[in-house]
Amino acid sequence: MKFRAAVCALNFFAGCKHNMSTLKIDDITLTFGGLAALSTVNMEIKPGLITSIIGPNGAGKTSLLNCISGFYHPTSGEITYDKNRLTHSSPHQVTKLGIARAFQNLELFSGMTVLDNLMLARHQKLRYNVLQAFLFYGKASREESKNRQYVEEVIDFMELEPYRKQTVGNLSYGIQKRVEVARALTLAPKLLLLDEPMAGMNIEEKEDMVRFIIDIQKERDATVILVEHDLGVVMDISDQIYVLDFGELIGSGTPEEVVKIPKVIEAYIGEE
C-alpha cells in the first residue's frame, strides 16, 4: 500500500475499534419445498478473524450468508450474534447490529456515481428528523457533513479517488466489485460478509482485493466471513475454514487441517 493510503487507513480506523462478538450458527436447516439447501449446519465464527466458507457450486454458501443477513429465515436452528438472535431478523435489523454484506451480484445503482452510491448506503447512519432534513439546518447539516467525511475516508481507503465522480455503470467490473465492498464498509461493520468479492477479476485485481480484505481485518479489527472459490486466496488469508457440500458441513479447521480431511479432498479439493 502506498504511504498516503497507509496513513489514510490509520486515520480512518483510529477510534473505530469494536467490542468483539462471536457469531454462532446452531443446527441451521433451510428448506425450499422438499429441497434442503442447508442441513443442520453448525459454525462458530470467532471474532477478529478471516473465516472462509468454501464448497462446490450449490453447496449452500450463499444461502448461509442469506440466513445470517436476514434475507432468508432458517426452517430450524438458531443464529446468534452479540447475544442477539438473528434467526428471524430482517436485513435492516441485522445491519443495525453492525453486520454488513457485499454481494456476489453487484447491488449498486449503475446510473449513479461512486460517491452517490456510498452516500446512499451511509444514509442509515443519519440521525435527524423530517423537519430538520427539510430545513437542512443545524443537526441535519452537521450529520450530512459528518457522513460525507466518513464516506470520503472510505473512498480514500479503498483507493477509489480517481473514480469518485464517475458513473458506476461505466467502470470496469473489477472496480465495481471494489465499490461494492466500499458500500458495505460505509456502514462501519463489526462483521463483514463478502460473497465472492474476487469473482471475475484478473490476477492484479485479485491481489488488490486481498490486500483490502487483510487491511480491513487488521486496521479495523473487523471479523470477516469470506465466500470464495479461489482456493489459493482462501488458503493464504484464512484463519479458519468451513467446507459445505450439498448443504452439509463436511469439514472445518485451519487451512492446514482442512486440506487433510478426506471428505473435503473428495468433494472439493481433489487429488493432485
pLDDT along the chain (272 residues), means of 10: 41 46 95 92 95 93 96 96 92 92 86 91 60 50 74 93 94 93 93 93 93 92 92 94 95 94 82 50
Give the pTM. Answer: 0.83
What CATH code is carried by the domain that includes residue 154?
Answer: 3.40.50.300
Question: Domain of 59?
Answer: 3-269
pLDDT, position 143: 65
The pair phi, psi for residue 219, each rounded to 5°, is: -75, -30
Q: Rounded to an integer, what distance in angstroms lies between the CA atom of residue 245 and that of residue 247?
A: 5
Q: Rounded to an integer, what distance in angstroms lies between the CA atom of residue 73 and that of residue 270?
A: 33
- Strands 23-32 and 99-102, by their bridges, are unpaired
**36 and 29 Cβ atoms separated by less than 8 Å:** yes
pLDDT, position 104: 82
Q: Rounded to an integer, what distance in angstroms lies between the CA atom of residue 69 and that of residue 79?
A: 10
Q: Which residue has the cell 437542512?
A: 136
Q: Rounded to an integer, what distance in angstroms lies between the CA atom of residue 162 and that of residue 154?
A: 13
Quick check: helix, strand or coil at residue 164? coil
Q: How many domains does the chain have?
A: 1
The pair phi, psi for residue 55, each rounded to 5°, is: 155, 165
Task: Extract the C-alpha cell encoding 235.
Answer: 488458503
The secondary structure of residue 167, as a DSSP letter, is: B
Q: Rounded to an integer, what distance in angstroms lies between the CA atom of residue 184 and that of residue 102?
A: 6
